[in-house]
Chains A and B, each alone.
Chain A
Amino acid sequence: MKLEMKDQPGQLVAALQPISAVGGNIIAVIHQRETSTTAETLDVQIVLELPEGRLENLLELLREQGVSVVRIGEERLLYECTLIVIGHLMHTDLSDTVDRIDRTGSAEVTELSLAMPAINSPSSARIIIRSTTRAEMKKAIRILRDVAGQKNLLIIEPLEDA
């Protein structure tokens, strides 16, 4: 999620404190002095990660601090993870496999490339999962591992976390 505000003196400090107070995680602070703006204000963009349902709470705290939020941009699916799946994907209902992740609501399969194999041999697919938080990604991968166990699929995970 992105917060934009005018940086009047002291506003940045006032804005950062409530974020950690509601359990948020600051990913980037982008300071941008625009030539068009008046001398003493500048735009600040804060990219942050918030636990589900804490946004109202944060905005209230920010208002109390006198921070004016110009714009809130929500980018829900911040984390991305590429995996490769090998097995009898078609025979084991590939769309059900994808569904089980999408059903979580906080992670989804956003890309799927399937290599068509020779008849009767196992097929391989690359899937990209996106999620709102790191914890949700872990959960999605756990689901995928469970499904793989049931359907006898081999999951190749990346070396590094999302």
Chain B
Amino acid sequence: MIRIALLGFGSVGRGIARAILAKNLEITVTGLADSRSGIIDAGGIDLAAALARKGNGGPCGSPGVSPADVVAKAEYDVLVEVTPTNVETAEPALGHIRGALRRHKHVVTSNKGPIALAYPELRDQAAANGVLLKYEATVCGAIPLIHAIREGLAGNTISRLYGVFNGTCNYILTRMAEDSLTYEQALAEARELGYAEADPTYDVEGIDAAIKLVILANTVLDMQTALDDVERTGITLLTPDALRLAEDQDCTIRLIGEIVPEAGVLRVSPRIVAKAHPLVVEGTLNAVTVETDLAGDLTFIGKGAGSTETASAVIGDLLYIHDRYVQGS
């Protein structure tokens, strides 16, 4: 059994709760908070009831309990931080994570802010306190890319890593190519289907993809980079004509994030890619190719977002910690 405190009860938080209810994962939630309320219950929170309250538009718990209370007072083994990403300050997630590490608690997060902005500090604090900090869900949702690079490809040198890191842009470009839609038409469609936010800047300007590159560079590629180091061009100026000109040569255009560690290159930009290339995936899928010296080239394809899919990555991290650290507790 592993006890978790869950901060954030939106798409990802509820996905985690539903998976815990649906499967026997040996995970008990002893603390829970959204933006307005919280619950602390050492005996295990009734998740079905909390989901129902949330489903009716209510808060998940009582207004008197804050996320900070949950971090500081609940009895848990792992803090699961799934509140919204802030790429400027990383707050409130950064404060939550620091608080949990201070209490010698493991941390699992899907929140890109703290990992992109403060990884070295958090890693050192976790190591000093003998706990783990895991963040698989921050990059490419369900694809276990960080685990694959850290564990499966340990001992390899990565010469280049590149791919499709943003499902929203991939959807828009897929639709522009398929039906000659303009960028504006494809974006409107993506919004209607819930693939794009009301303010899509973060996705379409390549900021989201750039943050994921920074996370990979700083955590598994031994680089020290910041968002400003990423050369970045979004997809907003692409025309149906440009896609057709690519199409004429059996190619298409995709927003590609690329890291060349040795050259210190990090860039996000639309690129011409042969349609037969394994990175040319449809719809909201993500795909990443890793070029290594021993293993050769590997391409990972999967869902980069979604409630259940992102929950999968969080649960993978939780069970990893469970197997190594909390067994028998």
Binding site for B on A (CB under 8 A): 82-84, 86-87, 113, 115, 117, 121-126, 154, 156-159
Q: Which of B260-293 contact A (CB under 8 A)?
A: 269-274, 277, 279
In the complex, the answer to whether A84 meets B253 with C-beta atoms within 8 Å is: yes
Q: Which of B242, B253, B273 counts the most chain A CB atoms within 10 A?
A: B242
Number of contact residues on B: which range applies?
A: 20 to 34
Binding site for A on B (CB under 8 A): 162, 233, 237-239, 241-242, 244-246, 248-249, 251, 253-254, 256, 269-274, 277, 279
In the complex, the answer to whether A123 meets B237 with C-beta atoms within 8 Å is: no
| Chain B neighbourhood of A157, CB < 8 A | 269, 271-272
**Would you give 6 A-B contacts (Cβ < 8 Å), ordered by A?**
A82-B251, A86-B239, A121-B239, A124-B241, A124-B242, A154-B237
In the complex, the answer to whether A124 meets B256 with C-beta atoms within 8 Å is: no
Rounded to whole angstroms, the CA-CA distance of A87 and B239 in the bound complex is: 10
Tell me which of A115, A124, A125, A159 contacts B272 (CB under 8 A).
Answer: A159
| Chain A neighbourhood of B244, CB < 8 A | 115
Min distance, Cβ B235 to any Cβ of chain A, angstroms: 10
Min distance, Cβ B62 to any Cβ of chain A, angstroms: 52
Tell me which of A83, A115, A123, A159 contacts B162 (CB under 8 A).
Answer: A159
Rounded to whole angstroms, the CA-CA distance of A67 and B279 in the bound complex is: 47
Rounded to whole angstroms, the CA-CA distance of A113 and B256 in the bound complex is: 24
In the complex, the answer to whether A86 meets B242 with C-beta atoms within 8 Å is: yes
Tell me which of A87, A113, A154, A159 contacts B277 (CB under 8 A).
Answer: A159
Min distance, Cβ A151 to any Cβ of chain B, angstroms: 13
Instruction: Apart from A126-B245, A159-B277, A159-B279, list 14 A-B contacts with CB within 8 A.
Output: A84-B242, A84-B246, A84-B272, A113-B245, A115-B242, A115-B244, A123-B241, A124-B242, A126-B246, A126-B248, A154-B237, A156-B238, A157-B269, A157-B271
Rounded to whole angstroms, the CA-CA distance of A155 and B242 in the bound complex is: 11
Min distance, Cβ B186 to any Cβ of chain A, angstroms: 16
In the complex, the answer to whether B279 meets A117 with C-beta atoms within 8 Å is: no
Rounded to whole angstroms, the CA-CA distance of A156 and B247 in the bound complex is: 14
Rounded to whole angstroms, the CA-CA distance of A87 and B162 in the bound complex is: 26
| Chain B neighbourhood of A113, CB < 8 A | 245, 248
